[in-house]
Chain A
Amino acid sequence: MKTIITSAGNKLSSQFELRFGRAEWFCLYDEESGKTSFHENMHIDDGHGAGPKAAEKAYELGAAKVISGDFGPKAKDILTQMDIQMVIVDNDNQTVKDIINMIK
């Protein structure tokens, strides 16, 4: 199963990002292979609709789960319809690596 973790940077040591649609990077973690890849958020500066675009990206990347600080109503709507599980971690004082260790 693949999981997306919102991240402030493109390294495992980067800080976990609480915002979903406005996260700078998405870390894709594959539980089976243990591999990670980082994908830049191209819609971070869009005036509106960054959330739905991030949800779209999550589906494209084949994620079954997304971990972030919160999800806006528009993103939530699409993630629900795409059957992608949303997990809220309300603590940004962690690295992406810390989050991965939590779900391992």
Chain B
Amino acid sequence: MCLAIPGQILEVVDESNRLAKVDVAGVQRNVNIGLLDDDGDGVGPGDWVLIHVGFAMSKVDEAEALETRRMLESMGEDYEQELEELKASIIE
């Protein structure tokens, strides 16, 4: 549960609840981006974020995101498990 996994924001789907659709290694799910609202202009489509339990926790640049993903992929089972749990998530 403690992993923070990188994803790219595709679109904001619920402005008032600050939900955005993200792509995490091909899995597209909604996450909350409200915790990053104070971070300058917040985050929006195209931005990369680290996601933890359905919330974007940090904005990162693309190189950092891809490198983090590469490291997580090398972890194998634990990352697979996290992706499976993300796939089962329906945040609305």
Q: Do A and B come from one complex?
A: no
